[in-house]
Amino acid sequence: MIESTEILLRLVLSVVFGGLIGLEREVVHKPAGVRTHMLVCLGSALFVLMTLETLPNETARIIAGVATGIGFLGAGTIFRSKSEVHGLTTAASIWAVSGLGIAIGLGHYFITVISVILTLIVLQLNKFEFFKKL
């Protein structure tokens, strides 16, 4: 059993880190913003925590289910207009935030912090001329 304070820490961190990614998406006026990313991260952490508390031998199966389900949610942010596809980065950020929630739910803080930093860096790459051409 995980202590209550540890559960609280993990849930709060999932909201904070999901919110950081969502804030970046909202600042650049993307359809999925702060609340969506917070809820995806929180939900992913919650599924993992509930599994650890009730069915600890089923963690891998639950993680696979979360990853698949979030893929469908992300797919809803993708749309095509004429010859362009929009929303792929937002869909990927939703999927990445779900991974963050899973890592937080498992208590892997170092992996989470590094992943948040890398995700924010990747989301900023469109500001560099070199990456706009790719």
Does residue 102 register a pLDDT over 80?
A: yes
Helix locations, the chain, DSSP H: 4-27, 34-54, 59-75, 88-106, 109-124, 129-132
Q: What percent of the chain has pLDDT over 90?
A: 77
Q: pLDDT at position 75, please? A: 86
pLDDT for res 83: 86
The residues spanned by each domain of the chain are: 4-132
Checking if the pLDDT of 90 tops 80, the result is yes
pLDDT grade for 82, boundaries at 50, 70 and 90:
confident
pLDDT of residue 31: 82
12-45 in b/e form (b: 16+ CB < 10 A) is: ebbbebbbbbbebbbeeebebbbebbbbbbbbbb
> What tens digit of pLDDT does each residue of 27-42 get?
998 889 999 999 999 9
Tell me: pLDDT of 134 over 80. no
pLDDT over 90 (residue 109)? yes
Average pLDDT, the chain: 93
Whether 1 shows a pLDDT value over 70: the answer reads yes
